[in-house]
Chain A
């Protein structure tokens, strides 16, 4: 079963065609590495799959939702986790408050939210002493871990990770890799955009290279990363 299916997908950022016809199929349980130079359209592919962008033309299906329709984009969002460059956290709220808010916003009951938050926190090694600290006092790495914890709580079926290793120390990077392993083990699908090919290669992903808003090496199924 394919989780992501892009057919000649064109997406605009304002008036700029960030994606100029992308063909890409991703199957359930796959780990896919998106790579390519800056401005190739990696982030836009992730945003398109997350249901945040309306495709200008072409077909986009994610988790069996037709993302050319508003309804499809709305329903796919809650089943997908997107880790972008921004933290998605409220600076003035504490780590605990942020995690609880996003868990409750995902529709969890108060008890379930607390349970899953604790779980995610221990998995991401966010220590208890940070719980009552406002996010603006955290280091970049701690923020990143908190954002990831907020996503883990939602138990998404599809992970879209945009440069997940950026701004993390060695331990943090290992943690991201472990998380990706968790997600795949739980039957999830992971799409990573990264420049750190060596690191991601350890997860033996299928590599897709983007350039100029299109896939350049075709949807090959080899898993080496070098064609």
Chain B
């Protein structure tokens, strides 16, 4: 990939790290863990279940405690789109600037995004079972769009894993990511029209009664899962950077080794050349 030679991440002073951690990332990690704990307490203890009373019949209805799933499901979904958006931007960078930095970023965002996307599908499905009474709702636009997105990026990661010229693979992967992101509005629109033919699913959040604490918990969910995303992206980026550095390092070593190849006399024999005066 490297049009420009790879340079280390600039650092004025300090020593090389033996891990992908740094002081900043450790602090972020600790804060994230605290945040997750706080999110758990709020989601499971402090907030109320979604129970509503029907105005005429007086019967209880709502999502009850299943609503607690949304505090992790919805932020996961938003972070998935954020990661894939980052991947698309970085892919554009790959095609325009052709620098390893963009390439490593795109790969990191796609991989972390796909982990998140898988979790969105799983948590969505588990939430849908008690609330919609089905594991899978074909009529839900967001669910279907997310599934198609997941499959597209599964292909992206499969392409990334093929062994080939790393530069060609990174450019091709960039095209895949860009087409995926451009295709998403089409997927969304087609599923939306298609779904109208069957049943119309209410917006997931629209019928929730949003109280102050519920809203706060959801916002905290965005923040905490955003921190999880940041931490994972940071470390995945560094892993990718190290992979690249290891590759460059081994190539550099191979160049040195290649320069020392084939001693002169062996060469002369190979090309059928004889020095004057040398016995036959």
Which of A's residues lie within 8 Å of B, judged by CB? 10, 12, 14-17, 20-21, 35-38, 40, 54, 56-57, 195, 197, 209, 211-214, 216, 226
Task: Report yes or no: A17 in contact with B254, Cβ–Cβ below 8 A.
Answer: yes
Q: Which of the segments B45-53, B200-208, B265-273 contacts the partner chain?
A: B265-273
Q: Is B13 an interface residue (CB 8 A)?
A: no
Kindly provide the distance from the CB of B268 to the nearest chain A CB, expressed in whole angstroms.
Answer: 9
Residue of B nearest to A209 (CB): B271
Contacting A15 at CB < 8 Å: which of B251, B256, B261, B262?
B251
In the complex the two chains form, what is the Cα distance from A127 to B77 in whole Å? 68
In the complex the two chains form, what is the Cα distance from A54 to B256 in whole Å? 20
Kindly provide the distance from the CB of B164 to the nearest chain A CB, expressed in whole angstroms.
Answer: 8
Name the prevailing secondary structure of the B interface residues: helix
22 contacts between A and B (CB under 8 A): A10-B255, A16-B254, A17-B258, A21-B259, A36-B267, A36-B270, A36-B271, A37-B271, A57-B5, A195-B271, A195-B272, A197-B271, A209-B271, A209-B273, A211-B262, A211-B267, A212-B259, A212-B262, A213-B255, A213-B261, A214-B258, A216-B264
Task: Report yes or no: B254 in contact with A197, Cβ–Cβ below 8 A.
Answer: no
Contacting B267 at CB < 8 Å: which of A17, A21, A37, A57?
A37
Q: Is B250 an interface residue (CB 8 A)?
A: yes
Q: Is B247 an interface residue (CB 8 A)?
A: yes
Task: Report yes or no: A212 in contact with B258, Cβ–Cβ below 8 A.
Answer: yes
Task: Report yes or no: B261 in contact with A211, Cβ–Cβ below 8 A.
Answer: yes
Task: Report yes or no: B261 in contact with A226, Cβ–Cβ below 8 A.
Answer: no
Task: Report yes or no: A213 in contact with B259, Cβ–Cβ below 8 A.
Answer: yes
Q: Which chain B residues numbered 232 to 265 have a C-beta less than 8 Å away from chain A? A: 247, 250-251, 254-256, 258-262, 264
Q: Is B211 an interface residue (CB 8 A)?
A: no
Residue of A nearest to B271 (CB): A35
Residues of chain B within 8 A (CB-CB) of A21 are: 255, 259
In this complex, the member of B247, B250, B267, B272 whose beta carbon has the largest number of chain A beta carbons within 10 angstroms is: B267
Which of B's residues lie within 8 Å of A, judged by CB? 5, 164-167, 247, 250-251, 254-256, 258-262, 264, 267, 270-273, 276
Kindly provide the distance from the CB of B171 to the nearest chain A CB, expressed in whole angstroms.
Answer: 11
Task: Report yes or no: B272 in contact with A14, Cβ–Cβ below 8 A.
Answer: no
Contacting A17 at CB < 8 Å: which of B255, B264, B270?
B255
In addition to A15-B251, A15-B254, A16-B254, 6 A-B residue pairs with Cβ atoms within 8 Å of each other are A10-B255, A14-B165, A36-B267, A37-B270, A212-B260, A226-B273
Residues of chain B within 8 A (CB-CB) of A37 are: 262, 267, 270-271
Residue of B nearest to A54 (CB): B167
Contacts known (A37-B267, A37-B270, A226-B273); A212 close to B261, Cβ less than 8 A: yes
Q: Lowest 10 A-B CB distances belong to which pairs?
A: A212-B261, A37-B270, A20-B258, A211-B262, A17-B255, A212-B262, A211-B267, A20-B255, A213-B258, A20-B259
Kindly provide the distance from the CB of A195 to the nearest chain B CB, expressed in whole angstroms.
Answer: 8
Task: Report yes or no: A214 in contact with B259, Cβ–Cβ below 8 A.
Answer: yes
Kindly provide the distance from the CB of B142 to the nearest chain A CB, expressed in whole angstroms.
Answer: 40
Residues of chain A within 8 A (CB-CB) of B264 are: 216
Residues of chain A within 8 A (CB-CB) of B260 are: 212
Residues of chain A within 8 A (CB-CB) of B167 are: 54
In the complex the two chains form, what is the Cα distance from A36 to B272 in whole Å? 9
Kindly provide the distance from the CB of A19 to the nearest chain B CB, expressed in whole angstroms.
Answer: 8
Kindly provide the distance from the CB of B175 to the nearest chain A CB, expressed in whole angstroms.
Answer: 16
In the complex the two chains form, what is the Cα distance from A195 to B270 in whole Å? 10
In the complex the two chains form, what is the Cα distance from A106 to B165 in whole Å? 28
In this complex, the member of B250, B254, B256, B264 whose beta carbon has the largest number of chain A beta carbons within 10 angstroms is: B254
In the complex the two chains form, what is the Cα distance from A214 to B262 in whole Å? 10
